[in-house]
Amino acid sequence: MWIYEKRLQYPVRVSKKDIGMAKFLITQYGGPDGELAASLRYMNQRYAMDNKVAVAILTDIATEEFAHLEIIATMVHKLVKDATPEELRMAGLGAHYVDHGKDLFYTDGNGVPFTAAYIQAKGDSIANIFEDIDAEEKARAVYQKLIDLTDDRDLQDGLIFLREREVVHSQRFREVLQILRDEEGKKRVY
């Protein structure tokens, strides 16, 4: 159970309509390295984790990833809110418009729908944490590419915030990895 504050974790500002950028950003909404996949991955993995610190960190980061999902949704909404159907079609979002209007739908930037195959769970705490570190590093790289694709300073500001949070998450998972390795070393009997 969470307490939900009805405000974004970080304010979203967009200087101009940019439908093409919205199409790129959608990948962080429902793509393989996006916020939905991350939040579901961490929320799922915590149930098989034996270490209470690891469970707490997975829960914290999963919750924050849900907040990031909301930030991405807000960015996309602001980028397309005044777009005409013709502008959406010209930006490669015509099929999306036909199926979903201007509502967001969990897809990557190419329109490929979200799939549970994006979520890894190996039944091994250390393997899962390595997967989580990898996921955060991939998300960081995607955010950097998104930053590079826009000249909107306001949008870049929000994307920089999200990129830096991925760095923090990667660091936290590296701390968990060390805790798990230390714990694993204590259990060995020779």
CATH number of the domain to which 129 belongs: 1.20.1260.10
- Spatial distance between the Cα atoms of 152 and 131, rounded to a whole number of angstroms: 32
Q: What are phi and psi of 107, to 5 degrees?
A: -140, 170
| pLDDT score at 1 | 62
63 domain residue, yes or no: yes
9 domain residue, yes or no: no
| pLDDT score at 189 | 60
CB-count burial class (<10 Å; 0-12, 13-18, 19+) for 54: buried
Residue 61 sits in which domain range?
Answer: 19-187
158 domain residue, yes or no: yes
Structural domain count, the chain = 1
Rg (CA), the chain: 18
**Half-sphere CA count of 58, side-chain side, radius 13 A:** 26
| pLDDT score at 188 | 59
pTM of the model: 0.92
| pLDDT score at 5 | 77
Residues with Cβ within 8 Å of 16's Cβ and at least 6 positions away in sequence, in order, are: 152
179 domain residue, yes or no: yes
Residues with Cβ within 8 Å of 19's Cβ and at least 6 positions away in sequence, in order, are: 79, 80, 83, 87, 88, 90, 91, 93
What single-letter amino acid sits at 13? R
| pLDDT score at 187 | 62
- Spatial distance between the Cα atoms of 41 and 61, rounded to a whole number of angstroms: 10
Q: In which residue ranges of the chain is pLDDT below 50?
A: none
| pLDDT score at 104 | 93
- Spatial distance between the Cα atoms of 81 and 103, rounded to a whole number of angstroms: 10
29 domain residue, yes or no: yes
| pLDDT score at 183 | 87
123 domain residue, yes or no: yes
DSSP three-state, residue 107: strand
How many C-beta neighbours within 10 Å does residue 98 have?
A: 11
8 domain residue, yes or no: no
37 domain residue, yes or no: yes
